[in-house]
Amino acid sequence: MYRINASRPSRKAIAVLAAALGAILMPIPASAQFSDTYNFLRGVRDRDFATVRDLVEAPSSTVINVRDRSTGEAALHIVTRERDPQWVLYLLQRNANPNIRDREGNTPLHIAAQIGFPDAVNWLRIVNADLNARNNRGETPLILAVHQRNGAIVRQLVDAGANPDIADSVVGLSARDYAARDARAADILEILNSAEEQPEDTAVFGPSP
């Protein structure tokens, strides 16, 4: 009969096992515990430029246009909503999609028009953002600007070629209709009506004088 060797492992064997176990249980750096998508969006929200730069500029990186699973927001939505001109410019320079949509169908231009962020409106139109994009409610950036009675943003969009006669899908009214119904928006209606005097192909692609 064969006798089972019941002797205790040697100290050397125990040391080897302990080292192996230590390697398995070694703490993982916090950044490595999450996906590139999570780290990128967190870096954008925290304005952690080093992390964002490393992820964006990595070979074959596609992280620039990833979206938050819960809101659908991309980095460009986030920094536009937070009125951060430096980050808007950086992301656009790194080829962020100016027409990317969140879960409500809003593009960064919708957000810029709604919150009154003229610099972002200007830069987004320079990179050919869709001036007449419609969100899930059928609203264009121009409609949102009219709702806010923001004449400066309305002027920017109209001068760039935004169509004032696209109706939303909720009430069925256009930017011009909303302005005409608002007694306090006479100046905005005048801007919208001036769009009729421009050739259809007129568009401005560059900083305003």
Asked if 52 and 44 touch (Cβ cutoff 8 Å), the reply is yes
Structure tokens at 139: 């609203």
Q: In whole angstroms, what is the distance from residue 124 CA to residue 203 CA?
A: 13
**What is the per-residue pLDDT across 57-98, written as a single tens digit (0 to 9) for each?**
999 999 999 999 999 999 999 999 999 999 999 999 999 999
Q: What is the DSSP string of 43-66?
A: HHHHT-HHHHHHHHTSTT--GGG-
Going from the N-terminus, what domains does the chain have, and what CATH number goes with each?
Answer: 33-130 (1.25.40.20), 134-201 (1.25.40.20)
Hey, which residues does 74 pair with through a beta bridge?
A: 67
**pLDDT for the residue numbered 195:** 83
pTM comes to: 0.78
Per-residue buried b or exposed e for 28-56, using 16+ beta carbons within 10 Å of the residue's own CB: eeeeeeeeeeebbbebbeeeeeebbebbb
